[in-house]
Amino acid sequence: MQSSPAIRIAFQGETGAFSEEAMQCLHPGAEGVPFPSFEKVFEALGSGAADQAVIPIENSLFGSVHECYDLLRVHDVSIIGELKLRIRHNLIGFSGASLEDIRVVRSHPQALGQCRRFLRMHLSSADVIAAYDTAGAVRELAQSGGPNEAAIGSTRAAAVYGLEILEAGIESNHQNYTRFLLLSPKQEMPPPVPDIRKDWKTSIVFSMRTNVPGALFKSLAVFALRELDLFKIESRPLVGSPGNYRFYLDVLGAASDKPVELALDHLREIASYLKVLGSYRSGKTQE
Amino acid sequence: MQSSPAIRIAFQGETGAFSEEAMQCLHPGAEGVPFPSFEKVFEALGSGAADQAVIPIENSLFGSVHECYDLLRVHDVSIIGELKLRIRHNLIGFSGASLEDIRVVRSHPQALGQCRRFLRMHLSSADVIAAYDTAGAVRELAQSGGPNEAAIGSTRAAAVYGLEILEAGIESNHQNYTRFLLLSPKQEMPPPVPDIRKDWKTSIVFSMRTNVPGALFKSLAVFALRELDLFKIESRPLVGSPGNYRFYLDVLGAASDKPVELALDHLREIASYLKVLGSYRSGKTQE
């Protein structure tokens, strides 16, 4: 069977970055298009340089990526999918190399920090050197490294650069997951349906008028009164505007489902700003 | 006047890190004690190796530091103060060096990324090299660099390592603030007072029983019914325990103020877990 041309999915980072690993889980066979910044990823979606995009939105250790929320707010895009990916760091080297041979380890400082315990126990005499990027460290190792050198990076980075995983899952804290969102250019909502779709969720961003006592409580009432479960609620103080907040909220059901639609109409009555970022099927967790 | 011995405050990172800058604002003249990880910072507080500690808890671009919330939950410490610090990146070099001379720039990849625009406009022909740490990059420059090299780091790093700020505030997004908390070993609550102290806040962490519809709504009701304003609410999904959440909440007033005390008692009735992390005066913002 002849396949159609691969869909092009923008991501931030280098080939082999965790965002690309997430992309491959969400869309096997898609063509990854790397960009140096999240802003460029969103611009690529707007200009048609990419058909879809994958961005990280929150991590179990480091919280929500407000920068991506800001870009979701100002660009005409829709969330169409999600995936939770376990961030598994691997010690990557040349085929046949063993731990005892390794004299130099390179990676992004955050990855090095997350593997501190392993490095101390098994590679205490090796030089630990910061790199700009986990995937970049693996690429450079493949291009110009030797058998006494290693890098810390994703399973995908080892595969794409033809290197070997010398030791898998070397991060100290295995409860390290990143939630990624799959984006497309702005989509029309599907037609309303009478009941809520149990495996869908809708993500919104909203603000309340200043100095409204219990404003957040009132905004949650629009969902609680309709017995709509929430997956996420987060307040974000607005810099330079004390007392003003933006809220991120994920609710069960699609925005076109009647109870969700009514709840959002109700929220619009009391909110000073509301944007529906998209409705999509709840994503699986990739271990 | 003879001063008493300086209070020792633990922080994560090297001398000159932003945490140390925050520490100096919170406690001028304190002695900073650097540790390689947040875990070690909390251990230092427990063992008496430090009198107090400063940790970052949330950033306006990168969200809450869940790792620090986890450590607050399991260690016997109290939050006793806070500060919002503008994260201002500076190009740092030797006295007399000018932008045109710089051939190499080193810093933590996150700092380099945040200064991408400046580097592209003014140092497009310089080599940009990753370092483990912003302060470490400045220290190494001072120790073994030359007049054609620069580092990106905090104002404090330039001062402590005797270098010059060649260009101040070179970050692309000036809305970059980190909220730091000042911690002490566990403190007794002050005695209850009849009314809420307007410039105090109390931080708590709590969980609700699974599958309680509208559980979050009910938990916010305990504050809304007493007209207690909230500064922060955030849900955090618990990894490996789908449908279970932990909530972070900051409320106006001290935990010993009567309305806050009653609200917390009420919350204990319906929560499966509740820990008061501390009551403290609302912190200023350091530009």
Kindly write down the DSSP assignment for every residue of B168-181, as one continuous string.
S---S-S--EEEEE
Give the model confidence (pLDDT) of B201-227 as tens digits.
999 999 987 656 678 888 999 999 998
* Whether ipTM exceeds 0.85: yes
Task: Give kind and range of the element (H or E) at residue B141.
Answer: helix B134-144
Domain boundary among B109, B136, B167: B167
With 60 as the cut, is the pLDDT of residue A1 above it? no
What was the pLDDT predicted at B69?
Answer: 95
Nearest Cβ partner for A175 among B232, B235, B239 = B239
Distance between CA atoms of A99 and B264, rounded to whole angstroms? 52
Structure tokens at A114: 């997350």
Least confident of A97-101, B4-8, B274-278: B4-8
The single-letter DSSP state of residue A99 is G
Contacts of B58 in chain A (CB under 8 A): 63
Domain boundary among B120, B152, B183: B183
Q: Do B143 and B212 lie in a common domain? A: no
Chain B: give the shortest CA distance to residue A3, in Å: 37
Q: Do A232 and A281 lie in a common domain? A: yes
Phi (first) and psi of residue B68, to 5 degrees: -70, -40
Q: Do A21 and A46 lie in a common domain? A: yes
Residue A141 lies in a domain: yes
CA A120 to chain centre: 29
What was the pLDDT predicted at B212?
Answer: 61
Contacts of B113 in chain A (CB under 8 A): 37
What was the pLDDT predicted at B195?
Answer: 72
* CATH number of the domain within which B196 lies: 3.30.70.260
Q: Do A76 and A94 lie in a common domain? A: no
Burial label, B7 (beta-carbon count in 10 A; 0-12, 13-18, 19+) = middle
Domain with A225 in it = 189-286
Q: Do B83 and B103 lie in a common domain? A: no
Least confident of A67-71, A176-180, A210-214, B45-49: A210-214
Give the model confidence (pLDDT) of B118-138 as tens digits.
999 999 999 999 998 899 999
Task: Give kind and range of the element (H or E) at residue B222.
Answer: helix B215-224
What was the pLDDT predicted at A2?
Answer: 54
Q: Do B74 and B94 lie in a common domain? A: no
Q: Do B276 and B226 lie in a common domain? A: yes
Task: Give kind and range of the element (H or E) at residue A39.
Answer: helix A38-47
Cβ atoms of A87 and A177 closer than 8 Å: yes
Task: Give kind and range of the element (H or E) at residue A110.
Answer: helix A109-114
Residue B1 lies in a domain: no
Task: Give kind and range of the element (H or E) at residue B275.
Answer: strand B271-281
Domain boundary among B135, B151, B183: B183
Residue A166 lies in a domain: no
Nearest Cβ partner for A65 among B37, B62, B65 = B62
How many CB atoms are located within 10 Å of the residue A243 CB? 10
Counted domains in chain A: 3
Contacts of B227 in chain A (CB under 8 A): 213-214
* CATH number of the domain within which A19 lies: 3.40.190.10
Give the model confidence (pLDDT) of B83-117 as tens digits.
999 999 999 999 999 999 999 999 999 999 999 99
Residue A264 lies in a domain: yes
Q: Do B163 and B228 lie in a common domain? A: no
Q: Do B83 and B104 lie in a common domain? A: no
Task: Give kind and range of the element (H or E) at residue A58.
Answer: strand A52-59
pTM recorded for the entire structure: 0.91
Residue A160 lies in a domain: no
With 70 as the cut, is the pLDDT of residue A213 above it? no
Average pLDDT over residues A107-113: 92
Residue B155 lies in a domain: yes
Distance between CA atoms of A115 and B37, rounded to whole angstroms? 12
Q: Do B131 and B204 lie in a common domain? A: no
Per the listing, tokens 């598994």 go with: A88
Residue A164 lies in a domain: no
Chain A: give the shortest CA distance to residue B270, in Å: 16
Q: Do B148 and B233 lie in a common domain? A: no
The single-letter DSSP state of residue A187 is -
Residue B198 lies in a domain: yes
Q: Do A214 and A275 lie in a common domain? A: yes
